[in-house]
Chain A
Amino acid sequence: MRMTGLILLAALAAPAANAVEYQTVLPKQSTIHFEFRQMGVPIKGGFKRFTTQMTFDPAKPEAARAQIEIDLASIDAGSPEADDESAGKLWFNRSVHPKATFVSSQVRALGNNRYEMRGTLTLKGKSRDMVVPVTFAPGKNAATFDGAFVLRRLDFGIGEGMWADVNTVANEVQVRFRIAAIGN
């Protein structure tokens, strides 16, 4: 009987022993890209500097947390002219709002390493709830979390005044990110 109890104990303990909690983000392997249309032309861009704090245990996805802070000055908006323009009041108003933040509120497992992350995105002083699908891939050296969602720039007042015309610069911005992290 003692033997059986030991085996049972080992079996119960096994998942906890194998579980990895991903907490250390690798900034160099993490990316944020976006794409939007301008006069029907796809324009690619991204942000080079952002910090991510996260904790994710595949065994307890509901306890996962993520917080991303983006330095808007690190933007690549497709051209130097657009980079400069994006700092202005009509776009990010960067002198007043230098950063964008995303703070997760809830993570739900969808199966097959897919998750649904809910959270709040704050841009230019405006906060909006977002639902972001994220795919988790446990890699050899680092795990990756890939997500994509569509952001409507006018929800955040990005591109006001003359730029509010969505026939010139589309309202929809496709955002794709990859966060690479290693376990502790």
Chain B
Amino acid sequence: MSVVMRYSTPAIVLHWLVALLIFAGFPLGVYMHELPLSPDKLKLYSYHKWIGVTVLMLVAVRLGWRLTHMPPPLPDGIAAWQRRASAITHGLLYGLMIAIPLSGWLMSSAKGFQTVWLGVLPLPDLVDKDKALGDLLAGVHQALNFTLLALVILHVAAALKHHFIERRPFLQRMAWGGKERT
């Protein structure tokens, strides 16, 4: 078996950090918005927003890293349409990781709540308080999130398929242990 080429260490750290935050922020968002108003609800909303802003910051770093560092090539034997699908999926995932926190930030402003990251760093309100806009952005935020959910399922399923069904050491690409591409 050939040596597995893996992503660079910063790329791996950023991938899993962002994955963890998304896996926390998504169910939190689904859960919190149906709750009756309470201090706990206000706290959960804040945590959700802090997670989203953190994702936005990390993805900015990630995107900068990705554009200046080539990922390891896909192993031989992966069909051309799958390579294309992979490129499109990754592009969309990056787009959503930016668009989702951004839509949440704008929604919050439109609903009249400034976003203050970790309760200390105020983000500017890029739109004025506007109920119709707030409701519209809530719909956009939700639609983008369910698109993300679908793409994450596809992303994970594809990785697992390459690893377990095609029996390639595929998951090591995004884990320590393989040989880093230099």
CB distance from A42 to the nearest CB of B (A): 6
Q: Are the CB atoms of A40 and B119 closer together than 8 Å?
A: yes
Kindly report which residue of chain B lies nearest to residue A44, judged by CB atoms: B112
Q: Chain B's interface: helix, strand, loop or mixed, by majority?
A: loop
B54 CB–A CB distance under 8 Å: no
Interface string of A74-97 (1 = CB under 8 A from B): 000011011001000000000000
Digitize A88-110: 1 where CB-to-B-CB distance is under 8 Å, 0 elsewhere: 00000000000000000000000
Q: Does A163 lie at the interface of the complex (its beta carbon under 8 Å from any beta carbon of B)?
A: yes
Least CB separation from B117: chain A residue: A40
Query: Is B179 part of the contact surface with A, judged by Cβ < 8 Å?
Result: no
Write out, one digit per residue, whether chain B residues 35-74 have a CB within 8 A of any chain A CB (1) or not (0).
Answer: 0011100110110000000000000000000000000000
Q: B120 at the A/B interface (Cβ < 8 Å)? A: yes
Q: Is there an interface contact between A162 and B114, defined as CB atoms closer than 8 Å?
A: no
Contact residues of B between 84 and 123, Cβ < 8 Å to A: 111-116, 119-120
Query: Once the chains bind, are A39 and B114 in contact (CB under 8 Å)?
Result: no
* Contact assessment for A43 and B120 in the assembled complex, using a CB-CB cutoff below 8 Å: no
The residue in chain B whose Cβ has the minimal distance to the Cβ of A42 is B114
User: Counting CB contacts under 8 A, is A41 at the interface?
Assistant: yes
Q: Beta-carbon contacts of B19-42 to A below 8 Å, as 1s and 0s?
A: 000000000000000000111001
Q: Considering the chains assembled together, what is the distance between the CA atoms of A39 and B50 in angstroms?
A: 11
Residues of chain A within 8 A (CB-CB) of B116 are 39-41
Say what secondary structure dominates the interface of chain A. Answer: mixed
Q: Are B113 and A169 in contact (CB under 8 A)?
A: no
CB pair A79 B113 closer than 8 Å: yes
In the bound complex, how far is the Cα of B46 from the Cα of A38, in angstroms? 10
Q: Does A165 contact B (CB under 8 A)?
A: yes
Which residues from B are CB-within-8-Å of A43?
A: 112-113
A134 to chain B, nearest CB (A): 29
Question: How many angstroms from the CA of A104 to the CA of B38 in the assembled complex?
Answer: 35
Q: How many Å lie between the Cα of A42 and that of B39 in the bound state? A: 16
Which B residues lie within 8 Å of A165 (CB)? Answer: 39
A residues less than 8 Å from B43 (CB atoms): 39, 168
Contact check, A79 vs B39: say whether CB atoms are below 8 A apart: no
> Which residue of chain A has its CB nearest to the CB of B50?
A39
Q: Which of A39, A78, A169 has the most CB of B within 10 A?
A: A39
* Bound CA–CA A163/B40 (angstroms): 10
Q: Is there contact, CB below 8 Å, between B112 and A39?
A: no
How many whole Å from B92's CB to the nearest CB in chain A? 32
Contact between chains at A79 and B112 (CB < 8 Å): yes
Closest to A159 in B: B39
8 inter-chain pairs at a CB distance below 8 angstroms, sorted by A residue, are A39-B46, A40-B116, A40-B119, A41-B46, A43-B113, A78-B112, A82-B37, A162-B38
